A and B are shown apart, each in its own frame.
Chain A
Amino acid sequence: MPALFPRWSDTAFRIGLGAVAVSLLVLVVGPMIYVRTPYITGQFFAFDQPVQFDHRHHVQDDGIDCRFCHDGVDKGKRAGVPPTERCMGCHAQVWRSSVMLEPLRRSFYSGQPISWNRVHQLPDFVYFDHSIHVAKGVGCASCHGRVDEMAVVYQSAPLTMGWCLACHRSPEANLRPRAEITNMEWRQTDPAQGRELAREYDVRPPTNCTGCHR
């Protein structure tokens, strides 16, 4: 009796099995990797802004504290972009006829807001509050990176759920004294200090789903 299947059917079967495995990888794992790429998370993307605002100059040269402009950061959910009048507080005096600041003056005198491009954007299904992070000793630079070295602001952290959770599970390494919150150069040198601060500030970050997805 001749063989039911030709000789190459084993090979075809193995190739088929391999194809199933590969397509599983491509169809399931592929998108999972894809959504974590900077292209989707927005990490490292710098946008052109209506005003060429340079944080390097304002933070490093002028020594302005983050909270002078982003004054909502320790009060509420949003750090906030300063109102035009805050800019004009200085720029009505210094660089008052600079061409670069033309959009600023136009906004101030017309009452039309400056339309900044948003760099950090969490999805709407995520609850996030700046003030609690600041109150518990998480510094600006811990999430936003060295903004004082950015010519154009970009998102330095991936801001994925895994990234958030990593810190929520063990926050000690990212804690600092409240006095150093806006210090861009502060580094934790002793892990014991992190543990001590976690005790002192009563740091208990939620790790359950409803902590952020309310």
Chain B
Amino acid sequence: MSDERHAGGEQDGKGAFRRDRQELWRRLIEHASEAGPPEEWEGIGRRDFMKLVGASVALAGCSREPVGKLLPYTVRPVGVTPGVPDHFATAMAIDGRAVGLIVESHEGRPTKIEGNPAHPASLGAAGVFEQAAVLQLYDPSRAGALRMRGRDASWESFCAAFSQPRTDGGEGLRFLLPPDT
């Protein structure tokens, strides 16, 4: 994470959270390496520790399963039947070319990417990058919101900024895109 993003993320929630988490880890590791085990652990040797862990694991196997929770929709999206996956046709760009894909989605959560059999180039085949692309959708560092000058911004502000005709004739406007055919 660059210093610039540190400075920019001063007030936004997500950046601050990420920074706090890193700081917390750093402090935890420092503390653990400097302080050693806490005082209450004095006199508990390695073997005693293993015995305690073993006993608690053995006992844990005897207990009941914890009660699970069922969280139904409040308002079910049209066309969704819980338990029945939806399949969406989509495409992703690899080496500048669009590859037709079908994504399996469970209640709005994509789980599997396969090729689209109707796509003339792939005929339903999907390579490692297409298959692995599903992980990108859950990448914690994936952009979760618009950013403007280093800060989270809303779609409303985006629309406000771009809905009016520009008076400068598009001077300084740049689009950053991956290579494309």
Contacts and interface: CB of A to CB of B under 8 A. Distances in A.
A77 B83 contact: yes
A47 B69 CA distance: 11
Contacts of B81: 71-72, 75-76, 80
A121 interface: yes
Interface residues of A, number: 30
A86 B71 CA distance: 14
Contacts of A158: none
A58 interface: no
A130 B84 CA distance: 11
B84 A113 contact: no
User: Which of B68, B73, B74, B84: most chain A Cβ within 10 A?
Assistant: B74
Contacts, number: 72
B74 A81 contact: no
B64 A40 contact: yes
A111 interface: yes
A72 B74 contact: no
Contact of B67 (A75, A78, A118): A118
A112 B69 contact: no
Contacts of A42: 64-65
A72 B75 CA distance: 15
B63 to A, nearest CB: 9
A83 B74 contact: yes
B64 A84 contact: no
Interface in B36-75: 62, 64-65, 67-75
A72 B64 CA distance: 28
Interface residues of B, number: 17
Given A40-B64, A115-B69, A85 B82 contact: no
A143 to B, nearest CB: 16
Nearest to A79: B83
B76 interface: yes
Contacts of B75: 83-85, 111
A95 interface: no
B83 A107 contact: no
A113 B73 contact: yes
Contacts of B72: 80-84, 113-114, 116
A124 to B, nearest CB: 11
Contacts of B71: 113-116
Given A84-B75, A85-B75, A118 B84 contact: no
Given A40-B64, A42-B65, A76 B73 contact: no
Given A107-B74, A116-B69, 14 more contacts: A75-B81, A76-B83, A78-B82, A80-B81, A80-B82, A81-B72, A83-B75, A84-B72, A112-B74, A114-B72, A116-B71, A117-B67, A117-B69, A121-B65
8 contacts: A76-B84, A80-B72, A80-B82, A84-B72, A85-B75, A113-B74, A114-B71, A118-B69
Lowest 3 A-B CB distances belong to which pairs?
A78-B83, A76-B83, A118-B68
